Amino acid sequence: MFQRVDRYLLRLIVVPMMVTLIIAAMLLLLDKMLRLFDFVINEGGPVSVVWQMLGAKIPQYMAFAIPIGVFLGILLAFRRLALSSEIDAMLGTGISQNRMLRVPVLVSIVMAVITYGLVGHLQPLSRYTYEELQYELRSGALGASIKVGEFVEIDEKLTLRIEESRDNGRNLMRIFLQRKQEDGEQIIVTAKNGTFFSTEDQDRILFRLYQGTLINLSPQLSSPRTLRFEVHDLPITLPQSAVFRKRGAAQLELTIPELLGGVLSGELEEDVYNAYMGDLNYRIIQIVAMFALPFLAIALGVPPKRSASAVGLFAGISMLIVFNEFAQFTSKLVEDGQSSAFVAIWVPYLVFVAISLHLYRIAVYKVGAQPTRALDAVVNMTVAAMKKLQSLFRREHAA
């Protein structure tokens, strides 16, 4: 049962954690959004597909943001308790730091379950969705708009050129169209403007042209036939695009149960087996790494007495970034068959856990000891040396 102190700690942790998750996700999505807009515009597709592709990227970005969010949430909560001397008051009432660890551990367990759902199931499906959207956009299956000012071959028999597009493509101006028939007959149409309309047949659309000229060229005709019109409806058969591949062409598109089933089946070729093992172990590391974060965050979150230094925050974030990048690198070694999963992935994880527990033990069980005291002293010495050099430079410059 949660006591009042547990609810208080939970509130202190959850607020900065959620803020960190939102900010991190927004920054990652903004960077991707600019590139997606360029890609979609170059492919001539509708802007709405950008939001679909960004939505497919959210699980991948959230998997990166959650560890940082959990770490910062716990660290900032205990830093606030330390700077306001609330942690000393709690210790004075008989609440040990091990007792305070209950809420951070519960938070990390909940976020580990969420991370499993993301990297184990949702992320592989969203990766496939993203690739499918890319494919359909490039193949025109999403109804990509016709590029203005270019000759576009809708199929082998139909060529179209639009000089200007208005009202988001609803009104097309100065149109040239050429259609070739199997018997050698050609139909050339020029029109002042036109509009596409959908029909009951999903494979056909209607191109309504206004104020134009139709020229019929045929080997059977001695001279071209010319027809002027005010309104002319031209049915167009949409090209059939190839069906996108099935999910699972790469191990990144497989869920954790699917990867595990493939590894245990014994039917995979060596290179495929290595790829499955590398990705499977990397995803599991992303999940179990959550359990070390409370110990590391508490150890680095409490600054030395009579100090408001934030060196522990920067040291912790640096450790998480280095650990994640190193885990990605070593998982590639496993995928390439250059190392076993235990040596390349699990040994560094065990070292990370050992460092986190050692720093926590120093902070909790050694009286007056602070894991960041030495690092804080180095930072203070560096800052003092820089200030001294700056003052000497100013004196020499003044002289």
Domain-ending residue, one of 184, 217, 237: 237
**10 within domain boundaries:** yes
- 172 near 162, Cβ under 8 Å? yes
Give me the DSSP letters along 351-367.
HHHHHHHHHHHHHHHST
Inform me whether the pLDDT recorded for 107 exceeds 90: yes
How do beta strands 151-153 and 204-217 pair?
unpaired
Whether 132 and 256 share a structural domain: yes
Whether 206 and 317 share a structural domain: no
Q: How many angstroms separate the CA atoms of 352 and 293, rounded?
A: 10
Whether 160 and 223 share a structural domain: yes
**145 within domain boundaries:** no
Whether 168 and 134 share a structural domain: no
Digit-coded pLDDT (tens) for 336-362? 989 899 999 999 999 999 999 988 988
What would the mean pLDDT of 282-308 be, rounded to a whole number?
A: 87
**127 within domain boundaries:** yes
Whether 229 and 253 share a structural domain: no
- 218 near 184, Cβ under 8 Å? yes
Whether 228 and 261 share a structural domain: no
Between residues 202 and 144, which one has the greater pLDDT? 202
Least confident of 85-99, 122-136, 138-152: 138-152
**146 within domain boundaries:** no
Domain-ending residue, one of 237, 262, 282: 237
Whether 258 and 321 share a structural domain: yes
What would the mean pLDDT of 100-124 be, rounded to a whole number?
A: 94
Whether 72 and 53 share a structural domain: yes
User: 346-359 as b/e, with b when 16 or more CB fall inside 10 Å?
Assistant: bebbeebbebbeeb
In whole angstroms, how far apart are CA 371 and each of 158, 199, 234, 312? 73, 71, 77, 9
Q: How many angstroms separate the CA atoms of 70 and 284, rounded?
A: 17
Total domains present in the chain: 2
- 237 near 203, Cβ under 8 Å? yes
What would the mean pLDDT of 116-124 be, rounded to a whole number?
A: 94
Whether 362 and 261 share a structural domain: yes
Whether 113 and 160 share a structural domain: no
Domain-ending residue, one of 190, 207, 237: 237
Q: Which two tokens stand for residue 399?
A: 């002289």
How do beta strands 171-180 and 158-166 pair?
antiparallel
Whether 112 and 196 share a structural domain: no
User: What confidence score (pLDDT) does residue 240 get?
Assistant: 57
Whether 113 and 164 share a structural domain: no
**242 within domain boundaries:** no
- Residues 338, 340, 346, 352, CA torsion sign: negative
Range of the domain at 122: 4-138+247-392
